[in-house]
Amino acid sequence: DIQMTQSPSTLSASVGDRVTITCRASQSISSWLAWYQQKPGKAPKLLIYKASNLDTGVPSRFNGGGSGTEFTLTISSLQPDDFATYYCQHFRYTFGQGTKLEIK
Amino acid sequence: QVQLVESGGGLVKPGGSLRLSCAASGFTFSDYYMSWIRQAPGKGLEWVSYISSSSSYTNYADSVKGRFTISRDNAKNSLYLQMNSLRAEDTAVYWCARELHTATTITGAFDMWGQGTMVTVSS
């Protein structure tokens, strides 16, 4: 089975910062990677699919990159609404363990 | 209104059964693959099961294989998850989710989620 590992597990940042979350696959997954944002008590929200495609309505400050085994989610200028937990996911099945983005 | 609404969660004893339902509206349900995903309290997301648009294909996480059964009724715009032999570790919020597809390809990503239904397995 393919394992997905995110880093860091927790990230402290300030409004306006540029932040990057990394997701590594245990073997090549081509571009079959999605990113989600989840806030407490809510369902996850799709941000990025197929590694770099922004879902409809997602702000352009979110950017996804990578292929094969290493992927990144970059938020170019953090907004107050962005503080949440982020998950990567390999094609339908395996989620990463999550990265909690906290206010510094 | 485009939405998914889950129901059927609750408190059940270990070894018991529960059937979750997911009602879809506002889109052509029969066009989409659907999945169940769960999240135990304080934990991460875990994909549980998926079903293809015409019910031809299903798959399950190893943790639920042989105990859970996914099904759908496209005429009723509904998705189901029959959960048998429930264990304490099945305690979680369960979401149904729609799998995004573009004009040319599936994506393996979930672009629409319900509000979730809580399943608690405890004696």
Q: How confident is the model at residue B12 (pLDDT cuts 50, 70, 90)?
A: very high
**Strand pairing of B117-121 and B10-12?**
parallel
As given in the structure block, the two tokens for residue A7 are 């880093």
Main-chain dihedrals φ then ψ at residue B75, nearest 5 degrees: -70, -30
Q: In Å, how far are A32, A73, B11, B68 from B62, measured between CA atoms?
A: 21, 29, 23, 10
Test the B interface: residue of A3, A4, A32, A46 with most B CBs within 10 Å = A46
pLDDT above 70: percentage of residues in chain B? 100
Asked if the peptide bond before residue A8 counts as cis, ω within 30 degrees of 0, the response is: yes
Tell whether A49 lies on the interface with B, counting CB pairs under 8 A. yes
Cα A29 from Cα B74, distance rounded (Å): 31
Q: How confident is the model at residue B103 (pLDDT cuts 50, 70, 90)?
A: confident
Of A43, A53, A87, the CB nearest to B44: A87
Tell me whether residues B45 and A36 touch, CB distance under 8 A.
yes
Contact between A92 and B52 under an 8 Å Cβ cutoff? The reply is: no
pLDDT for the residue numbered B102: 84
DSSP B56: S
pLDDT for the residue numbered B26: 97
Average pLDDT over every residue of B110-120: 98
Q: Is the pLDDT of residue B105 over 90?
A: no
Quick one: which of B67, B23, B74, B37 has its CA closest to B52? B74
pLDDT for the residue numbered A37: 98
Average pLDDT over every residue of A30-37: 97
Cα B76 from Cα B24, distance rounded (Å): 9
Test the A interface: residue of B63, B107, B112 with most A CBs within 10 Å = B107
Q: What is the DSSP string of B3-20?
A: EEEEE--EEE-TT--EEE
pLDDT for the residue numbered B51: 97
Tell me whether residues A89 and B111 touch, CB distance under 8 A.
no
Q: To the nearest whole number, what is the mean pLDDT of chain A?
A: 97
For residue A9, give the chain B residue with the closest CA: B44
Main-chain dihedrals φ then ψ at residue B53, nearest 5 degrees: -60, -35
pLDDT digits (tens, 9 = 90+) for A37-51: 999 999 999 999 999
pLDDT digits (tens, 9 = 90+) for B32-45: 999 999 999 999 99
pLDDT for the residue numbered B101: 87
Average pLDDT over every residue of A23-32: 97
pLDDT digits (tens, 9 = 90+) for B55-96: 999 999 999 999 999 999 999 999 999 999 999 999 999 999
pLDDT digits (tens, 9 = 90+) for A39-98: 999 999 999 999 999 999 999 999 999 999 999 999 999 999 999 999 999 999 999 999
